[in-house]
């Protein structure tokens, strides 16, 4: 995934690239800047973490097992999405937000989802946070149980010049649950850190 993102950034040929990574995408973004520090000029790490812990840890094993259980029971991506999404969004999330999140998850091929889920189980880039040398916004969500706000706040504190913001009334899929607030946070960060007035 890192190679694919790096290739895309090179192909775009932009003079400034700010990479927005949500959830696992945030892990890909961290891996990219750790391996290729000059590839992007800014980061937004949304609803993500710098570490998933030990691949064979009890919490990690339980997390993967719970996420895969609906698939192992033969429910497919549609059945899994309908089981998991309600617990991933904020308590007051709209039906439209729930259905949109389900629709996104359903489109992921089951084989890809299984591999992706297992690949994050041992992810750990905590030691690399202090080396992130580009403006970075850590964007959390109030009701996110997968990447809790306090975890994201600690991430921001370990990144030189890192910023932290928490979106109210949103869960793990904040960009779908609260799109206007999510966009406002992005635009504010971009204007504040990258607007040269030109």
| Predicted confidence (pLDDT) at residue 53 exceeds the cutoff of 80 | no
| Predicted confidence (pLDDT) at residue 63 exceeds the cutoff of 80 | yes
Cα distances (Å, whole numbers) of residue 195 to 24, 102, 103, 198 = 28, 36, 35, 7
Residue 60 is predicted with a pLDDT of 80
DSSP state of 144: -
Kindly report whether the global pTM for this prediction surpasses the value 0.85: yes
Q: Within a 10 A sphere around the Cβ of 129, how many other Cβ atoms?
A: 23
Q: Rounded CA gap, 148 and 163, in Å?
A: 16
CA neighbor of 110 nearest in space, from 153, 81, 146: 81
Residue 30 is predicted with a pLDDT of 97
């Amino acid at each position: 995934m890192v190679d694919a993102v790096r290739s895309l950034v090179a192909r775009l040929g932009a003079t400034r690239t700010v990479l927005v990574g949500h959830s696992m995408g945030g892990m890909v973004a961290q891996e990219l800047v750790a391996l290729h520090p000059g590839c992007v000029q800014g980061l937004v790490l949304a609803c993500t973490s710098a570490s998933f812990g030990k691949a064979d840890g009890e919490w990690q094993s339980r997390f993967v097992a719970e996420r895969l259980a609906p698939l192992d029971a033969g429910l497919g991506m549609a059945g899994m999405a309908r089981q998991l999404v309600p617990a991933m969004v904020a308590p007051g999330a709209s039906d439209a937000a729930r259905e949109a999140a389900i629709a996104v998850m359903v489109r992921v091929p089951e084989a890809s989802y299984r591999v992706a889920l297992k690949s994050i189980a041992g992810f750990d880039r905590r030691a690399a946070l202090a080396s992130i040398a580009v403006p970075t916004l850590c964007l959390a969500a109030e009701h996110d149980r997968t990447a809790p706000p306090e975890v994201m706040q600690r991430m921001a504190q370990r990144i030189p010049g890192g910023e932290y913001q928490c979106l109210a009334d949103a869960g793990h899929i904040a960009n779908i649950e609260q799109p206007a607030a999510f966009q406002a946070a992005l635009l504010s960060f971009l204007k504040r850190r990258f607007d040269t007035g030109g």
